[in-house]
Structure 1
Amino acid sequence: MMGFRKFSLKWNVLTMLILALFFALTHQSKALGIYKKLIYTSLTSDTTKPISRLLKDTTKLPSRKDTIPGKRDSIPAKRDTSLKKGIDTTLNRIDSLNQVTTDTFSLRLSKDTLDAPVNYEAEDSAVILAQEKKVILYGKTKTTYKDVTLTAPKVELNQATGEVTAFNDKDSLGQVLTRAKFAQGDNQFESDTISFNFKTQKGLTRNTFTKQDEMFVHGETIKKVNANTLFIKRGDFTTCNLDEPHFAFRTNKMKVVNNKVAITGPVHPEFEGVPVPIYLPFGFYPLSRGRHSGFLPPQFVTNEEFGLGLEGLGYYKVLNDYYDVTLRGNIYSYGGWSASLIPTYRVRYRFSGAMNLSLQSTKFNFKGDPDYSKFNTFMINWSHSVDSKARPGTSFSANVNAGSTRYNELLPNNALRNFQNQLSSSIAYSKSWAGKPYNLTLSANHNQNNATRLVNLILPDAGFTVNTLYPFQRKEAVGAPKWYEKLGIGYNGTARNQVSFYDTALSGKQLLDTLLAGASHRIPINLSLPSLGPLLVAPFVSYEEQWMMRQGTLKFDPVEQDIDTAFTKGFYTDRRMSFGVSLNTNIYGTYNFKNSKVKAIRHVIRPTFSFNYSPSFSGRYFDSLPYTDSSGIKHRIDYSKLAVGGNIYSGYSNVEFGGISFGFDNSLEMKLRPKKGSSDSTDRKVRLIDGFGFSSNYNFLADSLKLGDFNLYLRSTLFDKVNLTATANLTPYKTDSVGQRLNQYYFGDGHFQPGRFTAGSISLSTSFKSKPRDPDKAQETVNTGRPINDPMLLGDQQRLQEYMRRNPSEFVDFNIPWDISIDFAANFASVPLPNYTGFRTQFNATTSLRSSFSLTPKWNFTTNGYFNFQSMKVEAVSMSINRDMHCWQMSIGIQKGLYSSFSISINPKSSLLQDLRINRTRTFSNF
């Protein structure tokens, strides 16, 4: 027993000696290579109050950089139950997934601790001043804190104040090699020195360059008071992106609110560093992206007919995210004025549109002069469209262009509108029912001739259609369908009202006198039979009926030697039936070439024939007027009372038809072999003629004039460059001295003459463009969009053209060396004389030319011309010379026509300063 006690006492003494030795050796040992008293205690101490207690932790931590931010974790860590008297004797544990865990220790954070980590890196070196709580970085450094990024050659961080200071790098001569760069959100700065406080989000920079929207700003001192507001002392701003800008505006003080506005004190411009002694008391520059309200500055003009004037003065108001309105006005010293109200709206996936309400008061000469005149005119333009997905099965659209017939004529300095004699409008609504075979259309239409001042209104114009129904078709098809199951029947019905009037003599009585109403019904019955080899056979039956409200009777006035028309109102109906069968097929022909670039030419013929019979039910509406003129010559006019009555529908023919109708349609295309050495081995197809042919008929039951007129047509896009369209009407019969047809063919009497052309038209258009100087720049131009409030997106074609006319240099592509477009149109028709004593031929032909030549990469010459072959005069011609001056643009314009003018315009290219322009305009009229 005593031996056991001696043994136990000996081991107890040995254990105490070992513990004493262990404590003596580890009393001031280091953990993680950090000197706890000088560094750890200093960096975690409270700068506002003295340290009350330090926690000691002897836990062995992994030897790696701690990236856990010094703030309290929202998820509390599980405490170690083995902690006693502040000493943790627990060993680090490695979980089964072999993942390193970071031990969390309990400490009280300083009140001035940042709420996010500050990450920094340096290419050269980093110096830590523990006592001063500073870190100095050298080389290419990068410091990040939340959304703040700072890069500079040298950076100093002060942990005590939360401030970071960046410096630039200079060579031995004092020249700046690398500037400090600061970025926070959309704000970016380049400065000589940058001081920024992470806590207060305030900063101060010296000799700083920054960009706000399209504006480049330089300031000797810039103070950042919050994330979006800057105050600048002794600065300048410009839209030129060069290091030494061509122009700038200089001011001593300036405030910038990011993406909203820039406001300056007294400001003056300078060009190439040379100040211009023109001072403004303050400057206001919107920086808002997208739409924003504001005043629209005017343009000063001089006009010989209207005097001095201000054009384009107005205000733009954003009502909400979907609606806005623009008010513009022009005022002239001779008393003339005009005003426009332009509301626009756009609701995505629902509808969009724009309206332009314009009033114009034009005065020529002065009151009291014998040639004094005054005109009050107006114009309404409205465009509206509905997204097809907004209301499936329903569509609504509007395109309205209506107003006074002299409005376009009296517009100054606008040849395009001065010669626009035709205006038309359409408002349409359609409704279809899902799963139903019928649909409804409603529309209102308008057209007016500004030369004759005749206005026609058609409203409403209603249509109801029933798609083809197959009454004998089985509900459950089993096997091949029977022939009678393909018998289909449909319905088409229209009804409309029309009024006509002259705007110079508009009255309610005239509207009632010219009111016309009518309706048309058509019921087609078709049967599709199995093909007979290459032939497709389809029998058909059709019934048609028209309703009208007046008829006319011709009477000869021997005194005036004229023919008058007497109208009788009532309800009149006319109808027609036809029976027949149609046959059509396709005929293909190919010619192959052996040793040629052309591999083959293919010709397709599509003949159509129909045999039909149509009895006449309209004999009661036809009459004749025999009369003798003052020369003793006898005449006879056969006419339809319904057609002479001027109805919407003119009735049917009184000639019984039993014969054949025929037509031939053709197309021609060519196939080219690939070029030698080309990587593309596929053949290239070229359409030579899209369609050409003719159609006519022959009536076996007619007593004379059995062969009908020939209708000829041609459509072609030659080599994808020339668009050609031509039509003609050819009659095979001869005429007498007054133009009446005789029952004699032109191609008789032993010689061939196809006939006499009674009407025809041809239109030709082509354009040629050179390759761009820089293909990459051309692609960039294609991909660049315009802002939502750009005038080109307002939806009104006339306002788009007006904007292009006033700003031609904005639409000049200096990257294209040359561009030429040519349009030609001609038409003729043989029309009866007013007294029905003969015919006369009307002929019109016009051509227009547009060319653009970029003589150098910076100079462009553009011409537009309009020539009338009937008057053999150049109706209008305009020329412009445009100069690209990097951040500015210049345009010199000359126009000849009804209003001749000369103008010079110089303005910045940036949309931010596009209203800052220098103009000189002279206008002359040909009244």
Structure 2
Amino acid sequence: MLTQAKDSIVQKDSSLPKVVNDSIGNVQNDSIPSIENDSIAPPPKKEAIQYIIEHSAKDYILEDLPNKKVNLYGEAHVVYGENDITAGKILIDYQTNTVQAKGIPDENGKYSQLPVFKTTGNETTQDSLIFNYKTKKAIIYGLETEQDGINTLGQKTKRVNDSTIFIRNIIFTTSDPRHPDYYLKTTKAKVVPGKKIITGPTNLVLADVPTPAIFPFAYFPLTKNRTSGIIFPTYGESFSQGFFLQNGGYYLALNDYFDLKLTADIYSNSSWGFNAASSYRVRYKFSGNFSFNYDNLISGIEGFSSYSVAKNFNLRWSHSQDSKASPSSRFSASVNLGSSQYFRQSVNESNNGLGLTNTLSSSVSYYKDFVGTPFNISLSANHRQNTNTQKVYLTLPSLQLNMDRQYPFAPKNGTKKNAFQKIGLTYSLKADNQVETTEDDFFSDRIFDNAKNGAQHNISMSTNMKLLKYFSLSPSMSYREVWYTDKIHKEYDSTSDQIVTDTISGFSSFRDYSASASVSTTIYGMFKFKNSNLKAIRHTMRPSVSYSYRPDFGFYYEQVQEDANATSFVTYSRFDNGIYGAPSRGVSNSLGFSLANTFEGKVANKDDLEGEDKKITILNSLNMSTSYNFTADSFKLSPVNLTAGTTLFKKMNLNFGASLDPYALVENSTTNNLERIDALSYKNGGPLFRMTRANFTTSYSFSSKDFQKKKEGDTSEDEEDSTAYDQELFGEDIRNTNDFSVDPEEESNEDEEKEENPNLPQYISSMPWNIRFSYSTNYSNSLGQDEITSSSLMFSGDVELSPGWKVGASSGYDFINKGFTYTSLRFSRDLRSWSMNFNWVPLGNYSSYYFFIGVKSSVLSDLKWDKRNVNRDF
């Protein structure tokens, strides 16, 4: 330690900030009125120091005892209570109670070890600072800090206390503060750490170019908790409603578990909308969200025929229960109901593709498992709505009681050794109240006028056993009992000469039962090949023969005459209008047959000649089924149903289905139409089976990854070495970065930029892309139509043209109607701290476009611009 009476080094040490000649600003001429008399002046001497000043330095510490100063050099560090300062140079002045810090310049004048100031959870970096450790006030030059995603750079800062900071010539940005894509620039601002930033007139600067966007003030909340506040609207233009302000309103942070957002839409043609949205969450218990939207949309000009007003609403609710809340019970909800035209006409919903939705559905359910018993119960309410017909179907409520399979003859130790001990018994009760109504009557008192209800009991018993070692026999029996609260009665009315149907209230019921048995086995076949890459094919067959018997329940049916002479009668059941139907007529004595096939192969492994062969799937399924009813009056043999499916190259899915009818078609001499007759087709001069219907679907997807070479050590079977195909489609790799210039000087400039900012994305010139295709077709020939009823090709894809640039499209072609299906084009640009999107639907009734550009950060999410145009008629 060195001590001197008059240390000239201290007096001329460059570590002392030259406040008067500082190019950033002059402390004496500072214009902030609240602290014109600089608070850095020393307090009365009688005031004691609250904390011990701790200091250290890596290179040296020089003390000037007569002048009560200490110089710290090289990774200097000072701690005073909660205040922590590190810098290249620090001067502690005990006479003025100040700490002065700055960085160390190198031979090129570039500073290192810039001061870092930490206090009460905040951290800032600056060029230099003067801090009074008694008053906690400070003057800071070249401030750089980050709070809640907002990077702040200020020229001159006055820290009044822990809760108030004034800054001059300041910029705010959420991008890289050293190379900002954009920033908000203002001459003065007040910062309350952890709470808010309030500025004076603010200008938006893009790529260092000032824009005409000048705001009279700016307010940035910094609180980490949710707070209530104003939601600024988005603005744009709609083809039908004109200019608009959308989704402007107020956000209410009601508590830690629940919030509410109220917004409104205003259009220049007097249309308007209201929206309410809420989310809630209680940790380890439940969470959900709720939204209600109402639109009053005007189209056309009043007084003209094209004028119309559409009043639509939509209600959505989603609720889920945490599995830890109650293992034996759960409550869930998924609700989506409203006007049928809401998604087709709402401007807010124009770009989410929901306008093509034909069905809205909802479900609210509660499930309870009675622990210690074999019973569980579920209670639900369901809703289904056809947006084309505006029909609404409700099941309100629906009750389901189930009993797990019980083995009444099993031994107590649980081991079931024979068929008798394996007999299992199940029981279920289902009760429903169903309503069919229209959208107009949904909220009226007529909604339950045509309600139907009932209850259904099901009891089944089954077992299984082995036959002749290789066969499995599974007999079963079932019993059903149905209860209704009304029944129908029909009688002939001679006055109107027609049958009149009456509904009679009161309890009614019926019972039916059946028995069945099935025998199944599995057969394996192996075909081996020599001197071939295909080593073997394994064929697995699973034949099954089943028999079922159901007696005749015709005693539940009655006859009523349909003419005055009683020469013609109609057979009906009093349960025909019941929600579970009526018991079946006639004896069913049916023998069923099915055969399931799979084909697998084994091929040589080219990647590992000495290793095991690869297993591949040739056909996932090739199945057929049919049945024969011995007691049917006609058409005893049912159609043969065929299904087949496989996957090629682990990319292409192929599925086929068909129905083959063994009976013939003949022309009716009266109507000249073809009719199905109870005669086998081949006996009538036709083929053995007639194909009455068929369908075929396929899908294929591939991407640029499929054409890339495997990385060293990558043993994935999904990827193929197909780089040549990639280059054939998209050209060879000319350069290894996305630099299309050939100017060496530009190359060197880019290299320097990358050295200054190593976080800039490096990009391989092969463009990432993916493409998806799907095709489907349906054929119908049930009555000799011999026509393809539908045939369409759907395709979509995305390609990344360059870092951040992504283009996508989805469309399709209908070969029957000879036109394109719903087509959309997508363009997106990642601008680092900004994002830009353009979605365009160029064709059809839902043609529209939507453009958006805005800041990614949620803190400045209102800094955006969007525009949409929806071209649709009501």
TM-score class, shorter: 0.7 to 0.9
Pair 1:274-2:209 in alignment? yes
Within 5 Å, give how 1:180-579 maps onto structure 2.
180-184=115-119, 187-198=122-133, 200-227=135-162, 229-241=164-176, 243-289=178-224, 291-412=226-347, 413-414=350-351, 416-475=353-412, 481=417, 483-504=419-440, 511-530=447-466, 532-548=468-484, 549-551=486-488, 566=501, 568-569=503-504, 572-579=508-515
Pair 1:650-2:597 in alignment? no
Larger radius of gyration between Structure 1 and Structure 2: 1
1:64-100, CA deviations, whole angstroms, 9 ceiling, x for partnerless residues?
xxxxxxxxxxxxxxxxxxxxxxxxxxxxxxxxxxxxx
The answer to whether the 8 Å contact 1:323/1:344 transfers is yes
Supply the distance in 2 between the matched residues of 1:193 and 1:504 (Cα, whole angstroms). 72
Within 5 Å, give how 1:429-828 maps onto structure 2.
429-475=366-412, 481=417, 483-504=419-440, 511-530=447-466, 532-548=468-484, 549-551=486-488, 566=501, 568-569=503-504, 572-592=508-528, 600-618=536-554, 620-621=556-557, 641=573, 645-670=576-601, 674-676=605-607, 685-687=615-617, 689-716=619-646, 718-723=648-653, 727-736=657-666, 737=668, 741-748=676-683, 752-757=687-692, 763-771=697-705, 817-824=768-775
Supply the distance in 1 between the matched residues of 2:653 and 2:570 (Cα, whole angstroms). 41
The answer to whether the 8 Å contact 2:544/2:595 transfers is yes
Supply the distance in 1 between the matched residues of 2:120 and 2:680 (Cα, whole angstroms). 85
Kindly tell me: are residues 373 and 484 of structure 1, through their superposed partners in 2, closer, same or farther at Cα, counting changes over 3 Å? same
Kindly tell me: are residues 731 and 322 of structure 1, through their superposed partners in 2, closer, same or farther at Cα, counting changes over 3 Å? farther
The answer to whether the 8 Å contact 2:231/2:248 transfers is yes
Kindly tell me: are residues 775 and 608 of structure 1, through their superposed partners in 2, closer, same or farther at Cα, counting changes over 3 Å? closer
Shift of 1:351: 1.0
The answer to whether the 8 Å contact 1:120/1:144 transfers is no
Supply the distance in 2 between the matched residues of 1:651 and 1:842 (Cα, whole angstroms). 36
1:887 counterpart residue number: 833
Supply the distance in 1 between the matched residues of 2:616 and 2:97 (Cα, whole angstroms). 73
**The 10-residue stretch of structure 1 (393-402 or 256-265) with the greater mean CA deviation from structure 2:** 256-265
The answer to whether the 8 Å contact 2:854/2:861 transfers is yes
Shift of 1:917: 2.0
Letter matched to residue 701 of structure 2: S
The answer to whether the 8 Å contact 1:415/1:898 transfers is no
The answer to whether the 8 Å contact 2:299/2:873 transfers is no
Shift of 1:394: 0.9
Pair 1:919-2:866 in alignment? yes
**Alignment partner of 2:420: what SS?**
helix
Letter matched to residue 910 of structure 1: S
Letter matched to residue 769 of structure 1: S
Pair 1:167-2:105 in alignment? no
**The 10-residue stretch of structure 1 (350-359 or 191-200) with the greater mean CA deviation from structure 2:** 191-200
Supply the distance in 1 between the matched residues of 2:163 and 2:649 (Cα, whole angstroms). 57
Supply the distance in 2 between the matched residues of 1:687 and 1:288 (Cα, whole angstroms). 58
Shift of 1:284: 0.6
2:724 counterpart residue number: none
Kindly tell me: are residues 887 and 709 of structure 1, through their superposed partners in 2, closer, same or farther at Cα, counting changes over 3 Å? same
The answer to whether the 8 Å contact 1:411/1:417 transfers is no
Letter matched to residue 925 of structure 1: R
Number of matched pairs:
767
Kindly tell me: are residues 574 and 672 of structure 1, through their superposed partners in 2, closer, same or farther at Cα, counting changes over 3 Å? farther
1:796 counterpart residue number: none
Supply the distance in 2 between the matched residues of 1:459 and 1:111 (Cα, whole angstroms). 78
Kindly tell me: are residues 711 and 119 of structure 1, through their superposed partners in 2, closer, same or farther at Cα, counting changes over 3 Å? farther
Residue ranges of structure 2 left out of the alignment (5+ in a row): 4-45, 712-763
The answer to whether the 8 Å contact 1:553/1:641 transfers is no
Supply the distance in 2 between the matched residues of 1:597 and 1:229 (Cα, whole angstroms). 79
Supply the distance in 2 between the matched residues of 1:815 and 1:111 (Cα, whole angstroms). 70
Supply the distance in 2 between the matched residues of 1:119 and 1:501 (Cα, whole angstroms). 82
Kindly tell me: are residues 577 and 160 of structure 1, through their superposed partners in 2, closer, same or farther at Cα, counting changes over 3 Å? same
The answer to whether the 8 Å contact 1:542/1:578 transfers is yes
Shift of 1:815: 10
Kindly tell me: are residues 186 and 694 of structure 1, through their superposed partners in 2, closer, same or farther at Cα, counting changes over 3 Å? farther
1:8 counterpart residue number: none
Supply the distance in 2 between the matched residues of 1:285 and 1:114 (Cα, whole angstroms). 34
1:759-804, CA deviations, whole angstroms, 9 ceiling, x for partnerless residues?
x65554443333499999xxxxxxxxxxxxxxxxxxxxxxxxxxxx
Supply the distance in 2 between the matched residues of 1:841 and 1:435 (Cα, whole angstroms). 59
Letter matched to residue 767 of structure 1: S
Supply the distance in 2 between the matched residues of 1:858 and 1:488 (Cα, whole angstroms). 61
Pair 1:850-2:787 in alignment? no
Within 5 Å, give how 1:140-151 maps onto structure 2.
140-144=75-79, 149-151=84-86
1:321-349, CA deviations, whole angstroms, 9 ceiling, x for partnerless residues?
11111222212122221211111111121
1:870-889, CA deviations, whole angstroms, 9 ceiling, x for partnerless residues?
54333432223333333333
Supply the distance in 1 between the matched residues of 2:591 and 2:379 (Cα, whole angstroms). 36
Supply the distance in 1 between the matched residues of 2:78 and 2:538 (Cα, whole angstroms). 72
**Alignment partner of 2:591: what SS?**
strand
Pair 1:138-2:89 in alignment? no
Shift of 1:660: 1.9
Shift of 1:385: 1.1
Supply the distance in 1 between the matched residues of 2:709 and 2:123 (Cα, whole angstroms). 31
Kindly tell me: are residues 261 and 553 of structure 1, through their superposed partners in 2, closer, same or farther at Cα, counting changes over 3 Å? farther
Kindly tell me: are residues 676 and 826 of structure 1, through their superposed partners in 2, closer, same or farther at Cα, counting changes over 3 Å? closer
Q: What RMSD in Å do the two structures reach over aligned CA positions?
A: 4.2
Kindly tell me: are residues 475 and 518 of structure 1, through their superposed partners in 2, closer, same or farther at Cα, counting changes over 3 Å? same
Supply the distance in 1 between the matched residues of 2:356 and 2:589 (Cα, whole angstroms). 48
Shift of 1:350: 1.0
Kindly tell me: are residues 342 and 509 of structure 1, through their superposed partners in 2, closer, same or farther at Cα, counting changes over 3 Å? closer
The answer to whether the 8 Å contact 2:57/2:73 transfers is no
Supply the distance in 2 between the matched residues of 1:895 and 1:272 (Cα, whole angstroms). 32
The answer to whether the 8 Å contact 1:622/1:654 transfers is no
Kindly tell me: are residues 437 and 147 of structure 1, through their superposed partners in 2, closer, same or farther at Cα, counting changes over 3 Å? same
**Alignment partner of 2:801: what SS?**
coil
The answer to whether the 8 Å contact 2:64/2:70 transfers is yes
**Alignment partner of 1:321: what SS?**
coil
Letter matched to residue 488 of structure 1: G
Supply the distance in 2 between the matched residues of 1:729 and 1:556 (Cα, whole angstroms). 44
Supply the distance in 2 between the matched residues of 1:880 and 1:670 (Cα, whole angstroms). 42
Kindly tell me: are residues 480 and 411 of structure 1, through their superposed partners in 2, closer, same or farther at Cα, counting changes over 3 Å? closer
The answer to whether the 8 Å contact 2:49/2:134 transfers is no
Letter matched to residue 595 of structure 2: F
Supply the distance in 2 between the matched residues of 1:242 and 1:625 (Cα, whole angstroms). 91
Kindly tell me: are residues 637 and 139 of structure 1, through their superposed partners in 2, closer, same or farther at Cα, counting changes over 3 Å? farther
1:485-539, CA deviations, whole angstroms, 9 ceiling, x for partnerless residues?
2222221221211111222466968545522123322211112335541222222
Relative to the length of structure 1, the TM-score reads: 0.74
Kindly tell me: are residues 862 and 487 of structure 1, through their superposed partners in 2, closer, same or farther at Cα, counting changes over 3 Å? closer
The answer to whether the 8 Å contact 1:415/1:876 transfers is no
The answer to whether the 8 Å contact 1:294/1:315 transfers is yes
Shift of 1:436: 0.4
Residue ranges of structure 1 left out of the alignment (5+ in a row): 1-32, 36-109, 628-634, 777-812, 833-837
Kindly tell me: are residues 609 and 226 of structure 1, through their superposed partners in 2, closer, same or farther at Cα, counting changes over 3 Å? farther
**Alignment partner of 1:409: what SS?**
helix
Shift of 1:259: 3.8
Relative to the length of structure 2, the TM-score reads: 0.78
Shift of 1:113: 5.2
